[in-house]
């Protein structure tokens, strides 16, 4: 498979290449035997530690085995009839309700608007459709589009009469254009708002399966009572208890990732093969030039250069002409760029080879 000695570089799965630090991984490895041998603490103890780190009231938090578990239970508990969601977005927000025969009102984000969400147009859409639940991902996945905090607060207040308003902040920690962009504190004092969070996405530790929500004590308490008492694993607990001690390293990792995002966006924008959209997440959305299929590019890169990318053809509101690329350090981006240029050369070579016989016959 290409240059078999090269390690795979993953531009597909969202990650934070700078956190956890090597020292944190060493500590986890050193304690792995006891972590695996003994039961984790119950959710109350872990919630108390997490709320201390986040400076939130523990009564406003409900933790889960990944944010997808919370999406599943929100659907069962609070989505009774219909839900509105801008697309393209994270697939479980559309798939989960449809699997349970709920009506999903999809608000299509326009490429001509760079996939930016117009809050007023979305609110009007929700009212016209009569949606009873509204979801908004900020930043959005796969484009990384971000709305200012004041707009999100206005959105929540405009829809105070709905059954539920969900703000998915799974990638909020990567935002740099605004200080304190989260609306979690505002959600905790509103009657119908839930904010969804994901430690796994923030750290790129998807294997620990750790998500949580923030809401008023009534909503958060109902979710806690619904979830199993021991629904978190010991490895996830270990990471939570390490957070306070390593908060400085985490914030530094976010600054480094922001730098890499800017550099990567500039580098990819120089390529004639793609158009790159602005992002405040730890990934970039790019549209490939006409005639280039994302699936073909993905297969070429992984086979020839051991580089893996996310082709977006299976996302509602997207096509295989779009790819999502996780932000990575410069040396990895150089390999990606090398692979894309090699792909273009190979296509040109194939095109030229196919043209040669017809030219010879014509001259004859």
Phi/psi-derived region of residue 258, left when phi > 0, alpha when psi is between -120 and 50, beta in every other case = alpha
Task: Give the residue ranges of DSSP H helices in 31-173.
Answer: 32-37, 43-54, 67-78, 92-99, 119-129, 149-158
257-299 pLDDT tens trace: 999 999 999 999 999 999 999 999 999 999 999 999 999 999 9
Assess contact for 287 and 321: CB atoms under 8 A.
yes
Q: What is the mean pLDDT of residues 318-340?
A: 97
Helices 67-78, 92-99: inter-axial angle, 10-degree rounding: 40
* Of 237, 163, 187, 209, residue with least CA distance to 69: 209
Provide mean pLDDT across the span 93-100: 97
pLDDT at 200: 83
The per-residue pLDDT for 1 is 46
How many Cβ atoms sit within 10 Å of the Cβ of residue 106? 18
Residue 158: HSE in the Cβ half-sphere, 13 Å Cα cutoff: 16
User: How is the chain split into domains, by residue range?
Assistant: 9-17+248-363, 22-245
| Residue range 246-259: mean pLDDT, rounded | 96
Contact 168, 137 (CB under 8 A): yes
Q: Which residue has the higher pLDDT, 127 or 35?
A: 127
Q: pLDDT tens-digit profile of 104-145?
A: 999 999 999 999 999 999 999 999 999 999 999 999 999 999
Say what the pLDDT of residue 347 is. Answer: 83
pLDDT of residue 4 exceeding 90: no
pLDDT band at 364 (very low <50, low <70, confident <90, very high): very low
The percent of residues in the chain predicted with pLDDT above 90, rounded, is 80
Neighbours of 163 (CB within 10 A): 16
Judge whether residue 77 has pLDDT over 80: yes
Q: Which fold has domain 9-17+248-363?
A: 3.90.1150
- Structure tokens belonging to residue 281: 């997440």
Contact, 156 vs 183, CB < 8 A? yes
Instruction: Calculate helix-pair angle for 234-242, 22-30, nearest 10 degrees.
Output: 130
At residue 104, the pLDDT reads 98
DSSP letters along 246-278, please? THHHHHHHHHHHHHHHHHHHHHHHT-TTEEE--
For the segment 188-193, the average pLDDT, to the nearest whole number, is 98
**pLDDT (tens digit, 9 = 90+) per residue, 132-186?**
999 999 999 999 999 999 999 999 999 999 999 999 999 999 999 999 999 999 9
Q: Which fold has domain 22-245?
A: 3.40.640
């Amino acid at each position: 498979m290409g240059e078999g000695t090269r390690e795979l570089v993953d531009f597909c799965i969202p990650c934070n290449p700078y956190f956890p630090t090597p020292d944190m991984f060493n500590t986890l490895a050193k304690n792995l035997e006891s972590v695996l041998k003994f039961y984790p603490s119950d959710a109350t103890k872990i919630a108390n530690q997490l709320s201390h780190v986040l400076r939130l009231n523990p009564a406003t938090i409900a933790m889960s085995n990944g944010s997808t578990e919370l999406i599943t239970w929100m659907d069962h508990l609070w989505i009774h009839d219909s839900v509105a969601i801008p697309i393209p977005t994270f697939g479980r927000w559309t798939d989960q309700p449809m699997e349970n025969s709920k009506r999903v009102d999809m608000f299509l984000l326009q490429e001509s608007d760079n996939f930016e969400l117009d809050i007023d147009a979305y609110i009007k859409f929700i009212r016209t459709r009569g949606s009873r639940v509204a979801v908004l991902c900020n930043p959005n996945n796969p484009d990384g589009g971000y709305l200012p905090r004041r707009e999100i607060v206005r959105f929540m207040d405009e829809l105070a009469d709905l059954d539920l308003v969900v703000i998915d902040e799974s990638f909020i920690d990567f935002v740099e254009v605004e200080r304190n962009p989260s609306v979690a504190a505002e959600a905790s004092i509103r009657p119908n708002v839930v904010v969804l969070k994901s430690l796994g996405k923030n750290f790129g530790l998807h294997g620990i399966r750790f998500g949580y929500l923030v809401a008023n004590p009534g909503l958060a308490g109902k979710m806690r009572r619904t979830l199993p008492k021991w629904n978190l694993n010991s490895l996830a607990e270990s990471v939570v208890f390490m957070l306070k001690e390593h908060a400085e390293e985490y914030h530094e990792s976010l600054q480094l990732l922001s730098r890499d995002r800017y550099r990567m966006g500039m580098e990819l924008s120089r390529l004639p093969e793609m158009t790159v959209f602005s992002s405040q997440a730890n990934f970039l959305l790019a549209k490939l030039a006409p005639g280039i299929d994302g699936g073909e590019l993905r297969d070429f890169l992984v086979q020839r250069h051991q580089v893996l990318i996310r082709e977006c053809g299976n996302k509602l509101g997207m096509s295989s002409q779009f790819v999502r690329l996780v932000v990575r350090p410069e040396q990895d981006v150089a390999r990606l760029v090398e692979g894309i240029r090699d792909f273009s050369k190979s296509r040109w070579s194939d095109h030229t080879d196919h043209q040669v016989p017809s030219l010879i016959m014509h001259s004859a």
